[in-house]
Chains A and B, each alone.
Chain A
Amino acid sequence: MSTHWFHDHMFSFTSQNVYKGMAGMFNIYSAVDRGNEAINDGVNLRLPSGTAKAWGNLEYDVNLMIADKAWDANGQLAMDIFDFDGFLGDQMTVNLVYKPFFEVERRKYRFRILNGAVARFFKISLSDGSPMIQIANDGNLLPSPVVVTQLDQQGIAERYDVVIDFSRYSVGQKVWMVNLLEHENGTMPAGTVSLSQALSGNSSDPCVGKFLEFRIVRDPATPDVSQVPSVLVPNPDLSQIPVARQRTFVFGDDANQTTRDPVTSFRGPWGIGTDDGDKLDADFGRISAAPKYGTREIWTLQNDGGGWDHPIHIHFEEGRILARNGSASNVPAWERGRKDVYRLRPDGSVTVSIQFRDFGGMFMEHCHNTTHEDNAMLLRWEIDNNGAPFLRPLPTPIPKPQGVTFEPPTQILGTAF
């Protein structure tokens, strides 16, 4: 059904904890995407996976966590939390191993690619420029698969599921995954290089180039019965669902802090402006939005400048991208499923339809460049559960080893409710 990941989220400490490895992935299986490529029941999509178990076969379904790292002269993992643009490593790792190889058979594989970096975006191709089939984006299968020779930029926390068919190679051949995206700092990518430039090794960014080697080692023991159907999960029609509210969130720098709570309030160069209000630093005691349970809203996420990019993650609810820069035609085919991380692009905006249907509670919205997140580009929003025992607004939980206490919100924005 979908590819997810989970990681430590300590307020203002997320980047360093994720960087050190406090992150894992989880795959959710369903009748449609059950991880068995042989079961032909008219519902199962039979995506590459395996056949031995009724569900959740992994032989041909592989999780890849890609991240740049750095280490010091002693081999100690090194990081700099004081670079507020975002920390970049100078070495590529996959599943926490430096530039590894992976043995494959001559057949189709599914790869669940997670950008597990702190601040680096990736743009992936194969070293011979041959096609990949993108089938999912974040936690959702696309309406239809998309054949590409280069994936789109992949921001931090985005997940791209792709199918690669190695049957076109012969045993003994090798092919590599290549990163085409140069960074000069953590604000945003500096630019895309051509495949030949990336392979030349001449980029000033040491993370450009080959980072994962596929070794084609044998023919499959049994025929590849997996499929990539032309229809995966069609999008439902949203047109009959009323829009209760529209909200705008602006992501940028030079944010202010209006609160001084010693626990909930934080300072940093980055912040979020809500509904034409000032850009504010994070305070998890402040309520910036409070949609009503059971409604649909349209949220526009706006990048405040051209000098940076922000992959914005909204907790709990996934949304469908209706428009980029105000136009539906700007939404590429591989972004037409549901998503939970929205890469704004420099000077860009993303308009999202989102529904609040399942669980009430307190949720976050933040930049998933975790350096930006930790330096105050985060806000709190909440949904009631349509009845008792909820309070509106919710009190703010203050966790301590001795137990959780509660305090009233430090601030409720005028447009929140």
Chain B
Amino acid sequence: MYLPGKASKARLREAENARGNRAEILKARSQGQVSRRDLFKMGLFTAAGAIVLKNGLSPFARSAYADDSSIPTGLPRSPLFGVQAFTQPMPRFDVLPRNPVSALSPAPTAQANTTQQPLNTALEGVGPGQTGPIEGRPPGPIWAHQEFTRFPPAISIYATTEGAKVNSVYNPGVASTFNSGIVATTPFPPPRTTGSLEPTSSPASSTTITIRSSWPGGETSMPPRAIPTPAAPPTMAASIRYLATGTRP
């Protein structure tokens, strides 16, 4: 799948260009500018799964530079910017804070809250002045929480999907000595606007690589998040119920 390290510079450049061109299509598709049906119509996509085998578009297409078409072509290896393996500490997950339910506004309801709010016209299919429900769950009794009375919410945890950003509230849940010396109060640095997996300084002098996606629709700050959910003391009655005898029939 990946080109060998000894591949020619021309071959690597060709494959890198192809990857970039495909990434453009991917970006357009993930932003809703082009549908999969459009790609079919343009002949860039086939139902059989042999897709866009065009030189310049697919790194897997027959190369202009490869001397033997039977050799599998592929993607260029990921550059490391001089970073050596096992030189960076592994961050523990960022433990999200547990908040009282009273911190939620509006308060959670058994059925979806369909209070209307203005919609962002950048969303696909949204016109000026349109509104939509503040909760995305389907409305009505069928999609209501089924045990809202017996097991009312006991804690709230705030999580978002948004662009990657500086994490200045990192909580590994342990002291720095248990997190390979990472000082939690030092903010994880911001991503570049174009960078997803980047050296923290210029490539020639960098010593750190961390992944921070800036792709639309799916982005992460560092480190990844974890939610601790207790069953004792009984904030999660459902779990206590299952495990009081150690198991569940």
Q: Which residues of B contact A101 (CB under 8 A)?
A: 86-90, 180
Known: A26-B227, A77-B197, A185-B1. A90 touches B232 (CB 8 A): no
Give chain B interface residues in 1-45, CB to chain A under 8 Å. 1-2, 16, 19-20, 22-23, 26, 29-30, 36, 45
Bits for A175-197, please: 1 = Cβ < 8 Å to B, else 0. Answer: 01000000111000000000000
Q: Smallest CB–CB gap between A107 and chain B, Å? A: 12
Tell me if B161 counts as interface (CB < 8 A to partner A). yes
Tell me if B183 counts as interface (CB < 8 A to partner A). no
**Distance in angstroms between the alpha carbons of A95 and B196 in the assembled complex:** 15
Q: Smallest CB–CB gap between B30 and chain A, Å? A: 7
**Distance in angstroms between the alpha carbons of A96 and B208 in the assembled complex:** 12
* Cβ contact within 8 Å between A20 and B224: no
* Cβ contact within 8 Å between B85 and A210: yes
Tell me if A307 counts as interface (CB < 8 A to partner B). no
Number of A residues near B (Cβ < 8 Å) is 100
* Cβ contact within 8 Å between A75 and B26: no
Give chain A interface residues in 185-223, CB to chain B under 8 Å. 185, 206, 210, 212-213, 215
Bits for A88-104, please: 1 = Cβ < 8 Å to B, else 0. Answer: 11110111111111110
Number of B residues near A (Cβ < 8 Å) is 109
Kindly identify which residue among B86, B227, B247 contacts A99, using a CB–CB cutoff of 8 Å.
B86
Q: Smallest CB–CB gap between B171 and chain A, Å? A: 10
Binds B, one of A28-36, A158-166, A282-290: A28-36
Bits for A282-316, please: 1 = Cβ < 8 Å to B, else 0. Answer: 00000000000000000000000000000000000
* Cβ contact within 8 Å between B90 and A102: yes
* Cβ contact within 8 Å between B232 and A55: yes
**Distance in angstroms between the alpha carbons of A183 and B1 in the assembled complex:** 9
Q: Smallest CB–CB gap between A244 and chain B, Å? A: 16
Kindly identify which residue among A25, A50, A210 contacts B224, using a CB–CB cutoff of 8 Å.
A25
* Cβ contact within 8 Å between B93 and A95: yes
* Cβ contact within 8 Å between B231 and A402: no
Q: Smallest CB–CB gap between A366 and chain B, Å? A: 18
* Cβ contact within 8 Å between A98 and B230: no
Kindly identify which residue among B92, B159, B199, B211 contacts A24, using a CB–CB cutoff of 8 Å.
B159
A interface: dominant SS: loop
Tell me if B204 counts as interface (CB < 8 A to partner A). no
Give chain A interface residues in 63-119, CB to chain B under 8 Å. 63, 65, 69-85, 88-91, 93-103
Binds B, one of A321-329, A342-350, A384-392: A384-392
* Cβ contact within 8 Å between B125 and A30: no
* Cβ contact within 8 Å between A95 and B2: no
Q: Smallest CB–CB gap between B67 and chain A, Å? A: 20
* Cβ contact within 8 Å between A402 and B196: no
Tell me if A360 counts as interface (CB < 8 A to partner B). yes
Kindly identify which residue among B87, B88, B126, B236 contacts A402, using a CB–CB cutoff of 8 Å.
B126
Known: A75-B198, A75-B199, A90-B77. A97 touches B90 (CB 8 A): yes
Tell me if A269 counts as interface (CB < 8 A to partner B). yes
- Name B45's closest neighbour in chain A (CB-CB): A82
Query: What are the nearest 9 A-B pairs in CB distance?
Result: A21-B220, A100-B90, A77-B196, A20-B218, A17-B218, A26-B227, A30-B231, A24-B225, A99-B85
Binding site for B on A (CB under 8 A): 1, 6, 8, 12-13, 16-32, 34, 43, 50, 54-56, 58-59, 62-63, 65, 69-85, 88-91, 93-103, 176, 183-185, 206, 210, 212-213, 215, 233-237, 241, 267-269, 359-361, 375, 385, 389-391, 394, 397, 399-404, 406
10 more A-B residue pairs beyond the given contacts A29-B229, A54-B232, A391-B142, with a C-beta to C-beta distance below 8 A = A56-B230, A59-B178, A72-B23, A73-B76, A90-B2, A96-B223, A98-B83, A100-B91, A103-B181, A389-B140
> What would 12 A/B residue contacts be, using CB atoms closer than 8 Å?
A1-B243, A20-B218, A22-B218, A22-B219, A29-B231, A32-B246, A43-B246, A58-B92, A69-B78, A83-B60, A269-B47, A404-B112
